[in-house]
Amino acid sequence: MFDLVSTQELVEREVTDARKQVTRYQHRIDNAEALAREEQTQTYGPQIESLRADVEAVRDERDRALTRIEKLAVAMDVGVPLKNAFTFGDLLQGTNPDEYRDHAHKLLTLFERISK
């Protein structure tokens, strides 16, 4: 009828296979958070990096605009006519309004000497 040895071997193989499967599932459960994070990084990583680059570009543009506005304000404060203030402001060097103002006075002194 039944061969007890082969039945025993079959049962042992099935138990071994079941244990292997349990180990694989346990490994997946233990690493589920890392696996999910990795999957998200692969899926959304390029989009996130693109958005970061866009944000950085917008920040740079904003900073350049603010600098230009500060330079324009300094140019107008030192008496440069509005029609020339943008060009004069572009000539100003420095990193803040005080430095722009100091440089503006130097340029105005230089331009006065040249025009005499």
Longest dimension (CA), the chain: 124
User: Terminal CA-to-CA distance of the chain, rounded, Å?
Assistant: 124
Residue 107: the pLDDT is 94
Residues of the chain with pLDDT under 70: 1-5
Helix (H, G, I), strand (E, B) or coil at 102: helix
Query: What are the extents of the domains in the chain?
Result: 31-115
What pLDDT is attached to residue 5?
64
Helix 82-91 / helix 97-115 crossing angle, nearest 10 deg: 110
Task: Name the amino acid, one letter, at 31.
Answer: N
Distance, CA of 39 to CA of 82 (rounded, Å): 56
- Tokens matching residue 17: 């296979």
